[in-house]
Amino acid sequence: MTELRGWKEIPIGGMILEAGNSVEYKTGGWRAFRPVFGEAKCIHCMQCWLFCPDSSILVDPENEKMVGFDLEYCKGCGICASICPVNAKVIRKAGEELARDDPRLCIRMIEEGKFQE
Amino acid sequence: MSKFEALTGNAAVATAMRQINPDVVAAYPITPQTSTVQTFADFVADGLVDTEFVCVESEHSAMSACVGASAAGARVMTATAANGLALMWEILYIAASNRCPIVMSLVNRALSAPINIHCDHSDVMGIRDSGWLILFSENGQEAYDNLIQAVRIAEHPDVLLPVAICQDGFITSHALERVEIYDDADVRAFVGEYKPQWPLLDLEHPKTYGPLDFYDYYYEHKRQQVEAMEHAQRVILEVAEEFNRKFNRNYGLFEPYRLEDAEVAVIVANSTAGTARVVVDRLRDEGLKVGLLKPRVFRPFPAEELADALSHLKAVAVMDRSISFGAMDNAGPLFLELAAALALHGVQVPMADYVYGLGGRDILPHEIERVYRDALRVAETGRVERRVTYLSVRE
Same domain, B294 and B168: no
Tell me how far apart the terminal alpha carbons of chain B are, to the nearest angstrom: 54
Residue of A nearest to B202 (CA): A17
- Taking every pair of C-alpha atoms in chain B, what is the biggest distance, in angstroms? 70
Of B247, B269, B298, the domain-final residue = B247
d(CA A54, CA B388) in angstroms, rounded, equals 61
Q: Please tell me the distance in Å from A14's CA to the nearest CA on chain B.
A: 6
Contact of B204 with chain A, judged by CB distance below 8 Å, is answered with no
Task: Select the residue of B99, B205, B206 nearest A13 (Cβ to Cβ).
Answer: B99
B105, B165 in Cβ contact below 8 A?
yes
Among residues B204, B229, B247, the one where a domain terminates is B247
What span, in angstroms and rounded, lies between the C-alpha atoms of B12 and B82?
Answer: 20
Residue A28's domain comprises 12-114
Q: What residues contact residue A25 under an 8 Å CB cut-off, 6+ apart?
A: A2
Q: Looking at the predicted structure, is the pLDDT value of residue A1 above 60?
A: no
| B102 in Cβ contact with B66 (< 8 Å) | yes
Last residue of a domain, one of B228, B247, B266: B247
The reply to whether B216 touches chain A by the CB within 8 Å rule is yes
Question: Which residue of chain A has the CA closest to B222?
Answer: A13
In one-letter notation, the amino acid at residue A51 is F
Please provide the average confidence, as pLDDT, over all residues in chain B. Answer: 98
- Please answer yes or no on whether B211 and A14 come within 8 Å at the CB atom: yes
Contact B207 A16 (CB under 8 A): yes
Which residue, among A15, A17, A24, would best test binding to B if mutated, counting the most B CBs under 10 Å from its CB?
A15
What backbone phi and psi angles, to 5 degrees, belong to B56?
A: -105, 175
In this structure, the answer to whether residues B202 and B284 fall within a common structural domain is no
Q: Domain residues for B372?
A: 254-390
Query: Domain of A35: which CATH number?
Result: 3.30.70.20
> With an 8 Å Cβ cutoff, are A15 and B208 in contact?
yes
pLDDT digits (tens, 9 = 90+) for B133-184: 999 999 999 999 999 999 999 999 999 999 999 999 999 999 999 999 999 9
Option in B97, B207, B228 nearest A17 (CB): B207
Burial B256-271 (b: 16+ CB within 10 A, else e): ebbbeebbbbbbbbbb
3-state class of B76 per DSSP? strand
Q: Which residues contact B63 (CB under 8 A, 6 or more apart)?
A: B26, B78, B88, B91, B92, B94, B95, B102
All residues of chain B having their beta carbon less than 8 Å from the beta carbon of residue A22 are none
Are residue B38 and residue B172 in the same domain, yes or no? yes
* Vertex B124: Cα angle to B118 and B127 (nearest 5): 145
Bond before B350 cis per omega within 30 degrees? no
The 10s digit of each residue's pLDDT in B329-377 is: 999 999 999 999 999 999 999 999 999 999 999 999 999 999 999 999 9
**Start-to-end CA span in chain A (Å):** 22
Residue A17's CB is within 10 A of a number of other CB atoms, namely: 13
Beta-sheet pairing, A65-69 with A57-60: antiparallel
Helix (H) or strand (E) segment spanning residue B105: strand B103-108
Q: What pLDDT sits at residue A19?
A: 87
High-pLDDT (> 90) share of chain B, %:
100
Quick count: other Cβ atoms within 10 Å of Cβ B230? 12
Number of separate domains in chain A? 1
Q: Touching check for B224 and chain A: CB below 8 Å?
A: yes
CATH at B352: 3.40.50.920
- Summarised one tens digit per residue, pLDDT across range B260-305 is 999 999 999 999 999 999 999 999 999 999 999 999 999 999 999 9
For A13, name the nearest residue in chain B, comparing CA atoms only.
Answer: B98
Pairing of β B3-7 and β B177-181: antiparallel
CA distance A110 to chain B (A): 28
Q: Does A78 reside within a domain?
A: yes
- Total tally of structural domains belonging to chain B: 2
Maximum CA pair distance of chain A?
59
Chain B residues closer than 8 Å to A17 by CB? 198, 205, 207
Residue B30 and residue B164 in one domain: yes
How far is it, in rounded angstroms, from Cα B274 to Cα A77?
66
- B152 lies in the same domain as B266: no
Residue B250 in contact with partner chain A when CB distance is under 8 A = no
pLDDT band at B327 (very low <50, low <70, confident <90, very high): very high
Q: What is the dihedral of CA B242, B8, B21, B298, to 10 degrees?
A: 50
The reply to whether B241 and B265 lie within a common domain is no
Binary contact (A13, B208; C-beta < 8 A): no
Contacts of B221 in chain A (CB under 8 A): 7, 10, 12-14
Tell me the C-alpha distance between B163 and B253, whole Å: 15
Question: What tens digit of pLDDT does each residue of A3-49 get?
Answer: 899 999 999 999 999 888 888 889 999 999 999 998 889 999 999 99
Given this model, what pLDDT does residue A22 score?
82
Q: Which pLDDT score, from 0 to 100, does residue A2 have?
A: 64
Q: Read off the pTM.
A: 0.90
Q: In chain B, what residues touch A14 (CB-CB under 8 Å)?
A: 97-98, 209-211, 213, 217-218, 221
> Do B124 and B177 reside in the same domain of the chain?
yes
Query: Closest partner residue to A15 among B207, B218, B228, by Cβ?
Result: B207
Query: B231 and B104, same structural domain?
Result: yes
- What's B168's DSSP letter? E
User: Is the Cβ pair B217, A11 closer than 8 Å?
Assistant: no
Give CA separation, B77 vs A14, A48, B70, B154, B326, in Å: 23, 49, 9, 11, 34
At B298 the three-state DSSP class reads strand
Question: Are B98 and A13 in contact (CB < 8 Å)?
Answer: yes
Domain membership of residue B122 (yes or no) is yes
Taken in order B326, B330, B335, B338, the sign of the CA dihedral is negative
Residue A65 domain flag? yes
